[in-house]
Amino acid sequence: MPQINVSLKEGASAEQLDAAKKQCTDQGGKIEHEFKLVKGFTASFPDDKVHTMQSNEHINVENDSEVKTQ
């Protein structure tokens, strides 16, 4: 399963993060890592269901990828 990064949008509550985690696991995802500085998490998530997470108005969803500095 591909990995996605999920983070709360500005103004979203801790309850909305909990709801996003539940939505993720209810749809077959597995939370791999929870962020400390940003309210969010990385999850392995079925590729064919990512659109359901993206429709949540309180979160940002993006593919997990390697970040490099110059």
Asked if residue 68 is part of any domain, the answer here is: no
The residue whose two tokens read 């539940």 is 22
Q: With respect to residue 48, please indicate whether it lies within any of the assigned structural domains.
A: no
**37 φ, ψ (degrees, to nearest 5):** -85, -25
Please check whether residue 51 lies inside any domain of the structure: no
Judge whether 66 and 9 are in contact, CB under 8 Å: no
For residue 2, is it within any domain? no
CA distance 28 to 64: 17
pLDDT at 68: 80
- Whether residue 17 is contained in a domain is answered as yes
Q: For residue 40, count other CB atoms closer than 10 A to its CB.
A: 19
> pLDDT (tens digit, 9 = 90+) per residue, 25-47?
999 999 999 998 999 999 999 98
- Give the residue numbers spanning the domain of 18: 10-41
What's the structural domain count of the chain?
1
Q: Is the pLDDT of residue 58 over 90?
A: yes
| pLDDT, position 2 | 87
Element housing 50 (H / E): helix 50-54
Residue 24 pLDDT: 94
pTM for this structure?
Answer: 0.85
Q: Chain-centre distance of CA 37, in angstroms?
A: 15
Q: Is residue 26 part of a domain?
A: yes
Within-domain flag for 24: yes
